[in-house]
């Protein structure tokens, strides 16, 4: 262990040296550019100190966030926890890396709230603080508000890492770390202007892939994995590098024009980031083929990439500078010149680079699992395959077709999208039994080998977090309560304004619907289920809440998300009130079809359970075990006979 620690110290110094070198380069770049990036947008220059602090602070917080997220991912895939789930010594070193950097991430994010506000107002930090104008500048700067979200997520990670060394909580902490990583990118260039729906979805994937790539690389340099785990880490590096390259290229094509990769500072920085990322990826591919360790050069290349991306993030993209904005560019990112009809809902596609790809990957992974089972000679019910593929196809259609395109602009279509994601699609995904398929398909690690995906899945399914979320009471409250919390609070006014808000609502409603129906008709192991009559009662218990929501939406005089819909001002939508009433009617009436499907599935499962019970009872009767008491007496008789 001492030799490992001694070997990690020089690597840590190299990473620190790379960070300091990038800080010096960013300071020099900011000093040379001077007022140029502020003059391009017509903003006031806040002074050299505040301008430099913005770039350096953004880079420091982004790198710290990437290391925290990557360290958590590295711990999840390489740890060998004991029976209690406590990390082993090697994983604990990576845990310490994240634990020590999370406070730095938090403190930098808090400082950046003020620094970003000062840059947005065009005044030095000292003047902003002295003048007491932070509140007003926060309201005008989306990125400053984004830093508040980052600080909250960093605080959650920092506090939790101080309180636990168990594997399962590191897996759970990936979620707030992920939110902290993407909160800034979605509120920057990618969330603005034409085609920002494409750019927002792409930047979420890019930021996640780059953060995991950089964090895993640095973690592997600080605490090199064992030989049998090295390939696993290299596969993650190669996969995340490929994803970052693909989505980074998409972002550059959307934001770097006009001027391309040489006509602006933004394009040149993008080219530098691309070269560093591509070079590191090619090196990782070579290491994977040769099964070699190392990786310090790749880790430094990742630090360089993060620095270049950070410098790009604090300046306005060329496309946004050259474009003449309309209200549709600001609020939608695309044009909707015609009202919706059945044909346009089917043909006006804007493929979602996040959720659409996720739907395709889920379908492909499921099919591969079924094929592996059948090649092994095992069977898998065709009905489950059909249910899963239908659910994935519906998910793809709902998030990438005209339903999403018009749902982002109209409350009525949005409500149809919501009901599909919350009450229709989860039913078929649950009936697909993906966890059961994964447990039957994934190989067991075996004694003496590090745990793999099958063991990770088992730990998560039986973890306290899963037991809490899948408990009938929790699932019911989330399923019903989130409906009212989103729409009858100011939350909807914020979420409907941004594409990331629509992505959040889609994921949230899909997950809450899955948890609810998992407890009612789920085949997979996991949740604590009620008796069949209790499940039927819980199913019918949600109907009055949905009916009340629909009636309230149809009868209220105020407009949900009114500020957004009035600003959008669709020329062919004559009455926002009528459109909202139509959305309420959809919420009220569209829940009946999913309920019928669920009731049929529940009754079928109930009947099958009764048949299995009857067969077991008959078998016991044939063996002269008429009831449990007879079986117990027979067991005692056999024990007594053996003792004699």
Of the candidates 351, 414, 304, 388, the residue with the CA atom closest to the CA atom of residue 29:
304
Cα 114–chain centre separation: 27
- Which residues lie closer than 8 Å to 448 by C-beta, 6 or more apart? none
- Indicate if the pLDDT at residue 9 is higher than 80: no
Rounded CA gap, 144 and 108, in Å?
13
Burial 243-259 (b: 16+ CB within 10 A, else e): bbbebbbbbbebbbbeb
Residues 239-262 have a mean pLDDT of 92
Residue 427 confidence class, pLDDT cut points 50, 70, 90? very high
Q: Higher-confidence residue: 535 or 351?
A: 351
- The CB density around residue 612, as the number of other CB atoms within 10 Å, is 10
Do residues 212 and 236 make contact, with C-beta atoms less than 8 angstroms apart? Answer: yes
Tell me 339's DSSP state. Answer: -
Go through the domains of the chain in sequence order and give each one's CATH number: 7-325 (1.20.1630), 330-619 (no CATH)
In degrees, rounded to 5, the angle at the alpha carbon of residue 204 between the alpha carbons of residues 196 and 325 is 15
- Indicate if the pLDDT at residue 340 is higher than 70: yes
> Range with the lowest mean pLDDT among 157-171, 186-200, 334-348, 440-454?
440-454
pLDDT of residue 25: 94
pLDDT of residue 179: 96
Residues 173-198 have a mean pLDDT of 93
- What is the pTM for the complete model shown? 0.91
Rounded CA gap, 492 and 423, in Å?
19
Q: What share of the chain is helix, strand, coil (3-state, %, to 5)?
A: 80, 0, 20
In degrees, rounded to 5, the angle at the alpha carbon of residue 289 between the alpha carbons of residues 235 and 9 is 65
pLDDT digits (tens, 9 = 90+) for 482-512: 999 999 999 999 999 999 999 999 999 999 9
- Token output for 271: 């080219």
Do residues 197 and 356 make contact, with C-beta atoms less than 8 angstroms apart? Answer: no
pLDDT digits (tens, 9 = 90+) for 553-588: 988 889 999 999 999 989 999 899 999 999 998 888
- Indicate if the pLDDT at residue 592 is higher than 90: no
SS (H, E, C) 555-600: HCCCCCCHHHHHHHCCCCCCCHHHHHHHHHHHHHHCCHHHHHHHHH
Rounded CA gap, 315 and 51, in Å?
11
pLDDT of residue 351: 94
Residues 320-334 have a mean pLDDT of 87
Residue 96 confidence class, pLDDT cut points 50, 70, 90? very high
Residue 631 confidence class, pLDDT cut points 50, 70, 90? low
Residue 4 confidence class, pLDDT cut points 50, 70, 90? very low
pLDDT of residue 8: 55
Give the gyration radius of the chain's Cα atoms. Answer: 27
The residues with which 292 forms a beta bridge, in sequence order, are none
- Token output for 44: 């006031």
**Helical ranges in 442-471 per DSSP H:** 453-461, 464-470
- Indicate if the pLDDT at residue 3 is higher than 50: no
pLDDT of residue 2: 39
pLDDT of residue 23: 95
Instruction: Please report the sign of the dihedral spanned by the C-alpha atoms of residue 242, residue 205, residue 87, residue 99.
Output: positive
> Range with the lowest mean pLDDT among 4-8, 19-23, 85-89, 606-610?
4-8
In degrees, rounded to 5, the angle at the alpha carbon of residue 395 between the alpha carbons of residues 393 and 397 is 70
Residues 119-131 have a mean pLDDT of 83
- Indicate if the pLDDT at residue 101 is higher than 60: yes
Cα 153–chain centre separation: 14
SS (H, E, C) 218-274: HHHHHCCCCHHHHHHHHHHHHHHHHHHHHHHHHHHHHHCCCCCCCCCHHHHHHHHHH
Torsion angle defined by CA atoms of residues 276, 277, 283 and 286, in that order, rounded to the nearest 10 degrees: -150
In degrees, rounded to 5, the angle at the alpha carbon of residue 444 between the alpha carbons of residues 440 and 446 is 155
- Indicate if the pLDDT at residue 7 is higher than 50: no
Residues 159-188 have a mean pLDDT of 94
Cα separations (Å) of 17 from 22, 71, 304, 428, 470?
Answer: 9, 19, 12, 52, 47
Residues 50-66 have a mean pLDDT of 95
Cα separations (Å) of 246 from 54, 210, 309, 370, 555?
Answer: 28, 11, 15, 29, 47
- Indicate if the pLDDT at residue 1 is higher than 50: no
Rounded CA gap, 202 and 352, in Å?
9
- Say which residue the tokens 């991306």 belong to: 309
- Which residues lie closer than 8 Å to 281 by C-beta, 6 or more apart? 238, 241, 242, 245
The residues with which 86 forms a beta bridge, in sequence order, are 166
Find the distance separating the first CA and the last CA of the chain, reported in whole Å.
57
Residue 610 confidence class, pLDDT cut points 50, 70, 90? low
What length does the chain have? Answer: 644
Mean pLDDT, the chain, rounded, equals 88
- Token output for 137: 């500048």
DSSP secondary structure letters along 528-541:
-PPPHHHHHHHHHH
Rounded CA gap, 466 and 450, in Å?
23
Do residues 401 and 345 make contact, with C-beta atoms less than 8 angstroms apart? Answer: yes
């Amino acid at each position: 262990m001492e030799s490992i620690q001694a070997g990690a110290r020089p690597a840590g110094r190299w990473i620190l040296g790379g960070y300091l070198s990038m800080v010096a380069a960013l300071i020099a770049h900011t000093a040379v550019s001077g007022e140029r990036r502020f003059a391009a947008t017509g903003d006031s220059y806040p002074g050299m100190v505040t301008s430099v602090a913005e770039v350096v602070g953004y880079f420091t917080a982004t790198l710290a966030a990437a290391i925290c997220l990557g360290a958590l991912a590295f711990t999840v895939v390489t740890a060998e926890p004991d029976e209690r789930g406590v990390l082993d010594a090697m994983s604990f070193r990576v845990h310490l890396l994240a634990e020590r950097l999370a406070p730095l991430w938090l403190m930098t994010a808090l400082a950046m709230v003020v620094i970003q506000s000062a840059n947005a107002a065009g005044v030095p930090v000292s003047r902003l603080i002295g003048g007491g104008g932070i509140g007003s500048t926060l309201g005008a700067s989306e990125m400053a508000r984004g830093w508040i979200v980052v600080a909250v997520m960093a605080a959650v990670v920092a506090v939790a890492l101080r309180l636990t060394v168990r594997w399962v909580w590191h897996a759970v902490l990936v979620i707030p770390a992920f939110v902290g990583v993407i909160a800034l990118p979605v509120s920057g260039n990618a969330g603005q202007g034409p085609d920002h729906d494409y750019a927002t979805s792409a930047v979420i994937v890019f930021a996640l892939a780059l953060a995991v790539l950089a964090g895993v690389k640095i973690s592997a340099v600080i605490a090199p994995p064992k030989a049998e785990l090295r390939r696993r880490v290299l596969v993650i590096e190669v996969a995340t590098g490929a994803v970052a390259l693909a989505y980074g290229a998409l972002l550059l094509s959307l934001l770097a024009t006009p001027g391309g990769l040489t006509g602006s500072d933004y394009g040149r920085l993008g080219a530098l980031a691309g070269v560093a990322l591509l070079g590191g990826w090619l090196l990782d591919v070579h290491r994977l083929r040769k099964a070699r360790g190392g990786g310090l050069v790749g880790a430094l290349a990742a630090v360089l990439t993060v620095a270049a991306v950070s410098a790009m993030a604090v300046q306005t993209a060329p496309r946004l500078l050259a474009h003449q904005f309309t209200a549709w560019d600001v609020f939608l990112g695309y044009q909707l010149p015609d009202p919706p009809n059945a044909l346009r809902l089917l043909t006006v596609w804007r493929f979602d680079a996040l959720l659409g790809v996720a739907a395709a990957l889920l379908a492909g992974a499921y099919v591969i699992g079924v094929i592996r089972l059948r090649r092994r000679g095992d069977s898998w019910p065709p009905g489950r395959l059909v249910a899963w593929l239908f659910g994935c196809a519906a998910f793809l259609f709902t998030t990438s077709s005209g339903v999403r395109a018009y749902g982002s602009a109209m409350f009525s279509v949005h409500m149809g999208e919501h009901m599909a994601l919350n009450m229709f699609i989860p039913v078929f995904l649950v009936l697909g039994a993906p966890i059961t398929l994964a447990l039957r398909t994934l190989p067991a690690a075996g004694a003496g080998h590090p745990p793999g995906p099958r063991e990770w899945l088992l730990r998560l399914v039986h973890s306290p977090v899963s037991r809490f979320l899948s408990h009938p009471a929790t699932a019911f409250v989330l399923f019903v309560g989130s409906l009212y919390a989103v729409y009858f609070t100011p939350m909807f006014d914020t979420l409907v304004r941004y594409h990331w808000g629509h992505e959040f609502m889609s994921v949230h409603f899909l997950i809450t619907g899955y948890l609810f129906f998992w407890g009612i008709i789920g085949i997979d192991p996991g949740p604590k289920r009620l008796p069949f009559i209790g499940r039927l009662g819980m199913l019918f218990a949600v109907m009055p809440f949905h009916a009340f929501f629909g009636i309230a939406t149809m009868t209220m005089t105020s407009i949900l998300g009114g500020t957004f819909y009035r600003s959008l001002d669709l020329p062919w939508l004559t009455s926002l009130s009528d459109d909202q009433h139509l959305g309420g009617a959809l919420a009220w009436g569209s829940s009946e079809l999913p309920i019928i499907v669920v009731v049929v599935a529940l009754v079928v499962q109930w009947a099958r359970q009764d048949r299995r019970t009857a067969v077991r009872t008959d078998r016991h009767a044939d063996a002269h075990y008429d009831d449990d008491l007879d079986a117990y007496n027979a067991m005692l008789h056999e024990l007594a006979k053996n003792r004699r």
